[in-house]
């Protein structure tokens, strides 16, 4: 069953409409009151993040922790599954003093308030332990799940990021935040919306302006320009060498990757190629084949649906960007063959003509290493 959105922020329909700002304000006041109602009397809150948390998950969780401390005087624990792979995201944790704990080290029964951010029960990126029902969900991803049992689902896919949703609770209620929180929310909104260029509403812009105004630009730059290990360039070289342009679709395979964020990072880069409509980048880590999809916006383009179809239900996402995490069979797992099958299904799904295939740079067997 589909959850009913708890707020339609209005910005998605028409930000210029008179009263849209007032409506956003009323909704933020209402949502903060509901959060306080659910959190009242609770002493041990736990904030559970999206699997392989991205800056939006990290930023919104850090801000929510700050908000609960400020309003209720309680100290929330941040729990995550997967890993924080991208160097920028690790720099974010370090520079903004965000402390997160691996979920396996946590006994969920020790906590009396469970909040899920930037994902929701039923989504592939929500890895709550079996049987744990959250009290609060704050998320903007298109829903596949059932939130009937959640006391306060603050859920609205119109928003460009979860950081905007948490930011609105501060900004619209006149609650001050320190520069760390402002910087974390700024980076969360920026990365989730590609600098406010995708899936945003006027409200995302308003909240962004506020948090950006309070952020530390030098720290922001240190996060965004974090230095990368040599492995980054090795992966990049492999991505370029193996990339194939098929009709209007670009696909490549990274082979073994150190962390799952690599596929999204490379997909964003390759998406800049002129003339193409689709990008699919894949790589494997242990028994999982990761895949990231980008698409040029068009009325009939649904990247989330493509991700779901080609992964047998292990993927999903938005209209122009999506991802999948496909478990490989335990025995005889052959990630390379699994990628070839995935690519086949992808090209078929987006109707790219396989006969029109050429390498992006060099043929995959070209010698590119120095002897
Ligand atoms: Mn997000």
CA dihedral 52, 314, 260, 196 (to 10 degrees): -70
Nearest to 116 by CA among 70, 161, 80: 80
Contact 53, 82 (CB under 8 A): yes
**Percentage above 70 pLDDT, the chain:** 92
**Cα(366) to centroid(ligand 1), Å:** 39
**Cα(11) to centroid(ligand 1), Å:** 17
pLDDT band (50, 70, 90) for residue 364:
low
Contact 202, 20 (CB under 8 A): yes
Contact 343, 349 (CB under 8 A): no
Q: Per DSSP, which regions of the chain are E strands?
A: 45-49, 77-80, 101-102, 113-117, 136-139, 152-155, 244-246, 249-256, 278-285, 288-295, 315-317, 321-327, 357-359
Distance CA 38, CA 134 (A): 11
Strand order in the sheet with 288-295: 315-317, 321-327, 288-295, 278-285, 249-256, 244-246, 357-359
Q: In the beta sheet, which residues pair with residue 87?
A: none
CA 206 to chain centre: 21
Treating both helix axes as pointing N-terminal to C-terminal, what angle do 20-39 and 202-214 enclose, rounded to 10 degrees? 70
**Cα(54) to centroid(ligand 1), Å:** 7
**Cα(364) to centroid(ligand 1), Å:** 35
Q: Taking 70 as the threshold, does the pLDDT of residue 8 lie above it? A: no
pLDDT band (50, 70, 90) for residue 296:
very high
**Cα(167) to centroid(ligand 1), Å:** 13
**Cα(204) to centroid(ligand 1), Å:** 12
Q: Could you read off the pLDDT of 220-263 as tens digits, one per residue? A: 999 999 999 999 999 999 999 999 999 999 999 999 998 888 99
pLDDT at 125: 85
Identify the residue whose tokens are 């370090």: 94
**Cα(29) to centroid(ligand 1), Å:** 22
CA dihedral 76, 138, 146, 260 (to 10 degrees): -80
pLDDT at 18: 58
pLDDT at 371: 47
> What domains sit in the chain, N to C, each tagged with a CATH number?
20-224 (3.90.1640.10), 231-359 (3.10.310.30)
**Cα(282) to centroid(ligand 1), Å:** 21
Distance CA 244, CA 347 (A): 11
**Cα(162) to centroid(ligand 1), Å:** 5
**Cα(261) to centroid(ligand 1), Å:** 14
Distance CA 300, CA 72 (A): 46
Q: Could you read off the pLDDT of 110-164 as tens digits, one per residue? A: 999 999 999 999 888 899 999 999 999 999 988 767 788 999 999 998 899 999 9
CA atoms within 13 A on the CB side of 150: 26
Contact 152, 38 (CB under 8 A): yes
Distance CA 253, CA 343 (A): 9
**Cα(95) to centroid(ligand 1), Å:** 20
**Cα(58) to centroid(ligand 1), Å:** 9
CA atoms within 13 A on the CB side of 242: 20
**Cα(328) to centroid(ligand 1), Å:** 26
> Which pairs with CB-CB distance under 8 Å and at least 24 residues apart come from 24-32?
24/168, 24/172, 24/203, 24/206, 25/172, 27/168, 27/172, 28/168, 28/169, 28/171, 28/172, 28/173, 29/172, 29/173, 31/6, 31/7, 31/154, 31/168, 31/169, 32/169, 32/173
Length of the chain (residues): 371
**Cα(94) to centroid(ligand 1), Å:** 20
**Cα(241) to centroid(ligand 1), Å:** 31
């Amino acid at each position: 069953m589909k959850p009913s959105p708890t707020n339609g922020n209005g910005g998605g329909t028409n930000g210029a409409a008179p009263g849209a700002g007032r409506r956003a304000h009323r909704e933020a006041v209402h949502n903060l009151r509901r959060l306080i109602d659910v959190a009242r009397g609770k002493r041990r809150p736990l904030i559970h993040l999206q699997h392989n948390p991205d800056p939006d998950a990290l930023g919104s969780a850090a801000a929510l922790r700050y908000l609960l401390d400020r309003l209720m005087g309680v100290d929330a624990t941040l729990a995550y599954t997967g890993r924080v792979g991208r160097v920028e995201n690790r720099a974010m944790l370090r520079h903004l003093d965000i402390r997160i704990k691996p979920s396996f080290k946590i006994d969920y029964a020790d906590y009396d308030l469970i909040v899920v951010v930037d994902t929701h029960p039923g989504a592939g990126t929500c890895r709550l332990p079996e049987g744990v029902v959250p009290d609060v969900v704050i998320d903007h991803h298109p829903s596949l799940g059932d939130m009937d049992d959640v006391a306060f689902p603050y859920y609205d896919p119109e928003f460009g990021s979860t950081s905007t949703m948490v930011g609105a609770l501060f900004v619209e209620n006149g609650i001050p935040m320190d520069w760390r929180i402002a910087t974390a929310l700024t980076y969360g909104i920026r990365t989730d919306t590609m600098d406010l260029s995708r899936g945003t509403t006027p409200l995302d812009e308003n909240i962004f302006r506020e948090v950006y105004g309070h952020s530390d630009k030098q720290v922001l730059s240190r996060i965004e320009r974090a230095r990368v290990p040599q492995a980054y360039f090795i992966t990049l070289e492999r991505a370029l060498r193996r990339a194939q342009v098929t009709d209007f679709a670009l696909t490549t395979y990274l082979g073994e990757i150190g962390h799952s964020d690599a596929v999204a990072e490379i997909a964003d880069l390759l998406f800049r190629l002129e003339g193409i409509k689709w990008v699919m980048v894949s790589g494997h880590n242990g028994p999982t084949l990761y895949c990231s999809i980008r698409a040029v916006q068009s009325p009939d383009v649904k990247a989330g649906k493509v991700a779901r179809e080609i992964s047998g239900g292990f993927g999903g996402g938005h209209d122009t960007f999506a991802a999948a995490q496909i478990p490989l069979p335990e025995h005889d797992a052959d990630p390379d063959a699994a990628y070839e099958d995935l690519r086949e299904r992808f090209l078929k799904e987006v109707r790219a003509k396989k006969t029109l295939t050429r390498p992006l740079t060099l043929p995959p067997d070209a010698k590119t290493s120095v002897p």
